[in-house]
Structure 1
Amino acid sequence: MFVTPAFAQAAGAAPAGGMGAGDLLIQFAPILLLVVIFWLLIFRPQQKRMKAHQAMLSSISRGDTVVTSGGLVGKVTKAVDGEDLEVEIAQGTRVKVTRGGISDVRSKSTPVNDNKAS
């Protein structure tokens, strides 16, 4: 029924100048730290992998052994146009593959492992 003295007191005064620049920086420091961590651990390595993959795709030439993203292994017989390649996956069997569908390029000197007994 009666108001207790703790509730009856007036609220404390607010700080005179509001929030300072240092206080604002301290509040945003964890967010900035997370952005830096994401950049260093996720975005930057992904960009490096993409650049290396693009360089690998642009250096494909006739005679290279390639692995498609579907797992087919074959030898490049010719570049049909800028984006497409003709790949021989078996003797007399040639398929047209886009450069974006190539996941790995093996050099001409790297033999394909046929699991044949010597």
Structure 2
Amino acid sequence: MSLLISNAYANPGQQQAGGGFELLIMLAAFGLIFYFLIYRPQAKRVKEHRNLMAALGKGDEVLTQGGLVGRITKIAEDKDFISIALNDSTEVTVQKGAISAVLPKGTLKSL
């Protein structure tokens, strides 16, 4: 069978260098990209939302993530729930985390 197929031998020429330093530089670059494009903006949003939750007070006009607009009537400090009056006769209870924005005073009257 060796008459038809020639033997292949490895070329004893140059061998590639290690490449460990280039790999470390590339991993560091990917780490920086991950930090500045993904982690840092998300951490900033979480911090702003946490500050928003801490600043909520009775009488504030708020917008929920579900699109409800109302005025805060009661805040339960021991639990994470607040009561929001949507109009004179309707009141709903939502979690504090469901509040997406605090609206300027008088927004409910302009709607």
Counting aligned pairs with the same residue, the percent is 28
Aligned counterpart for 2:73 among listed residues 73, 77, 86: 77
**2-side partners of 1:27 and 1:2: how far apart?**
43
Within 5 Å, which residues of 2 pair with 1:96-115? Answer: 96-107=93-104, 109-112=105-108, 113-114=110-111
CA gap 1:47/1:95 in 2 versus in 1, 3 angstroms: same
The CA RMSD over aligned residues, in Å, is 2.5
2:9 paired with 1:12: no
**2-side partners of 1:94 and 1:2: how far apart?**
90
> How does the TM-score come out when normalised to structure 2?
0.79
What are the superposed Cα offsets for residues 26-71 of structure 1, whole Å, 9 maximum, x if unpaired?
Answer: 1232232122111101110110010001100111000100111110
| Deviating 4+ runs (over 6 angstroms) | none
Within 5 Å, which residues of 2 pair with 1:1-118? Answer: 1=3, 7=8, 11-12=11-12, 19=18, 23-82=19-78, 83-107=80-104, 109-112=105-108, 113-114=110-111
Note the residue ranges of structure 2 that are not aligned, 5 or more in a row.
none
> How does the TM-score come out when normalised to structure 1?
0.75
Note the residue ranges of structure 1 that are not aligned, 5 or more in a row.
none
Aligned length: 106
